């Protein structure tokens, strides 16, 4: 991890693309401007964070802007990790895709799109990856119903029959 | 339909082994009668130099009753089928790990004749749905089930594909929704003993009632590959 001072230096280097930094339990996080995520990741790659370990989504409901996308970067020569975060509102969930720079982001961005509905602009093939292609909605959003099936167990069979009558 | 050949004619032995007659020693009588029974089962109508002794009345009946096993063809076929399931080598999640162990040396499902896990659904007659079935996977499993030749059976293994267990949410679908399940094995995951118990239950069900009435239960009448049944 870059320590707290290193994180400040890194944030200063990124300039006004940085919105916020946090250093919590040895985890360095930078919140950046969603419009400039691609250039930010390129700058960090030049600084040695050459491995994109994960791209994932978060729903911060009821906070606004609701949707978050997290990029976990790793510097493999110094075993140094940093988290890059961005937040987009749910009515305009558009983020520039980084698949061109980081091919590993391809399927992970598709997963974030599938589960949270974040639209990655410039993605070569933005389709659902886990749910069926005709599925409606984005199930990991917090306002999405949990779903599931009512199951009749023997212990509450009578209850079911009474409810039906 | 009878397997036995009737009217059964008592076949004479090599010697003068007339059943019920006083043989010189009991051992010889056993030997001769055993030979007769074997030849009878083989369907041998002995046209030898020694003509069979003619039996009549209760002698004939007891002779036949001692030497013939009569059953119906359905029962025999069900017995054969139920002792040689060919399960499909197919697993979805952690239940599959337990499924492997039923075939391993400790449980050794080969004792009962179920060890031939087939890699192709066209050679299998038992599908063990071992794990959670996602909505996207369900049509694929249904296709595998449809490709299996009849008669075929399905075991739903574990909580996820029976009641959806801890994953009762948007992602999964219970197995009963898309194919006729014959046996549900509870557990999360079930131990290999439990799966083996489930397979043995299925064996009992097949022996008692080969068709198990699933077409009636699921309203699937009219989809038979062979309308005559067996």
Q: pLDDT (tens digit, 9 = 90+) per residue, A123-137?
A: 999 999 999 988 889
Q: What is the pLDDT of residues B76-112, one digit of tens each?
A: 888 898 899 999 988 898 999 999 999 999 989 999 9
Q: How confident is the model at residue B144 (pLDDT cuts 50, 70, 90)?
A: very high
CB neighbours of A1 closer than 8 A, spacing ≥ 6? Answer: A26, A27, A28, A80, A81, A82
Q: How confident is the model at residue A147 (pLDDT cuts 50, 70, 90)?
A: confident
- What's the 3-state SS for A97-160? CCCCCCCCHHHHHHHHHHHHCCEEECCCCCCCCCCCCCCCCCCCCCCCCCCCCCCCCHHHHHHH
Examine the pLDDT at B5 and tell me if it is beyond 80.
Answer: no
Mean pLDDT over residues A43-57, rounded?
A: 93
Q: In what order do the strands lie in the sheet with A18-24?
A: A18-24, A27-32, A80-88, A67-75, A51-59
Mutate to test the interface with A, among B133, B134, B136 (most CBs of A within 10 A): B136
* CA-based nearest distance A114→chain B, Å: 12
Residue B110, chain A, CB below 8 Å: the answer is: no
Q: What is the pLDDT of residues B48-86, one digit of tens each?
A: 444 456 778 888 888 888 887 777 888 888 889 889 999
Q: Could A149 and B173 be called an inter-chain contact, meaning their C-beta atoms sit closer than 8 Å? A: yes
Contacts of A146 in chain B (CB under 8 A): 169-170
B115-to-A28, B18, B157, B207 alpha-carbon distances in Å:
54, 46, 17, 19
The pLDDT of residue B51 is 47
Q: How confident is the model at residue A94 (pLDDT cuts 50, 70, 90)?
A: very high
Mean pLDDT over residues B164-169, rounded?
A: 86
The pLDDT of residue A12 is 84
Q: Compute the Cα dihedral for B21, B23, B25, B27 and give only its sign.
A: negative
Q: In terms of Cα–Cα distance, which of B154, B144, B214, B218 is closest to B185?
A: B154
- Half-sphere exposure in the Cβ direction for B16 (13 Å, CA): 5
In B173-202, the residues whose Cβ lies within 8 Å of chain A are: 173-174, 177
| Candidate from B136, B173, B177 with C-beta closest to A131 | B136
Q: Which two tokens stand for residue B209?
A: 């009632």
Examine the pLDDT at B29 and tell me if it is beyond 70.
Answer: no
Nearest residue on chain B to A132, alpha-carbon basis? B136
The pLDDT of residue B4 is 45
Contacts of B173 in chain A (CB under 8 A): 149
Contacts of A132 in chain B (CB under 8 A): 135-136
Model pTM score? 0.69
Nearest residue on chain A to B165, alpha-carbon basis? A151
Examine the pLDDT at A9 and tell me if it is beyond 50.
Answer: yes
Residue B164, chain A, CB below 8 Å: the answer is: yes
The pLDDT of residue A115 is 94
Residue B135, chain A, CB below 8 Å: the answer is: yes
Q: Could A132 and B135 be called an inter-chain contact, meaning their C-beta atoms sit closer than 8 Å? A: yes
């Amino acid at each position: 991890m870059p320590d707290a001072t290193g994180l400040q230096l890194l944030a200063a280097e990124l300039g006004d693309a940085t919105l916020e930094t946090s250093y919590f339990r040895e985890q360095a996080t930078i919140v950046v401007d969603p419009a400039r995520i691609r250039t930010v990741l390129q700058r960090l790659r030049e600084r040695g964070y050459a491995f994109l370990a994960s791209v994932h989504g978060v729903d911060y409901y009821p906070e606004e802007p609701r949707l978050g996308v997290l990029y976990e970067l790793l510097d493999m020569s110094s075993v140094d990790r940093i988290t890059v975060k961005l937040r987009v509102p749910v009515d305009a969930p558009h983020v520039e895709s980084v698949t061109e720079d980081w091919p590993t982001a391809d399927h992970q961005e598709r997963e974030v799109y599938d589960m949270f509905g974040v639209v990655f602009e410039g993605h070569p093939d933005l389709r659902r990856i886990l749910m069926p292609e005709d599925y409606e909605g984005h199930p990991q959003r917090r306002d999405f119903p949990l779903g599931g099936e009512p199951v009749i167990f023997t212990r509450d069979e009578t209850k079911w029959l009474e409810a039906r009558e | 339909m009878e397997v036995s050949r009737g009217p059964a004619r008592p076949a004479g032995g090599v010697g003068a082994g007339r059943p019920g007659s006083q043989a010189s020693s009991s051992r010889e009588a056993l030997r001769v009668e055993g030979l007769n029974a074997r030849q009878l089962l083989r369907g041998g109508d002995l046209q030898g130099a020694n003509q069979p002794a003619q039996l009549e009345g209760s002698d004939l009946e007891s002779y036949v009753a001692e030497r013939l096993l009569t059953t119906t063809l359905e029962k025999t076929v069900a017995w054969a089928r139920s002792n040689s399931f060919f399960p499909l080598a197919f697993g979805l999640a952690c239940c599959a790990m337990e499924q492997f162990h039923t075939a391993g040396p400790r449980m050794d499902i080969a004792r009962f004749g179920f060890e031939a896990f087939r890699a192709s659904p066209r050679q299998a007659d038992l599908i063990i749905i071992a794990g959670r079935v996602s909505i996207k996977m369900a049509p694929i499993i249904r296709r595998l089930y449809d490709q299996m030749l009849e008669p075929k059976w399905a075991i739903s293994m574990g909580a996820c594909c029976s009641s959806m267990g801890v994953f009762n949410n948007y992602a999964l679908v219970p197995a009963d929704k898309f194919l006729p399940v014959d046996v549900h094995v509870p557990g999360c995951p079930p131990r290999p003993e439990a799966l083996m118990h489930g397979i043995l239950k299925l064996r009992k069900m097949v022996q008692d009632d080969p068709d198990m009435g699933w077409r009636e239960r699921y309203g699937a009448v009219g989809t038979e590959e062979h309308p005559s049944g067996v």
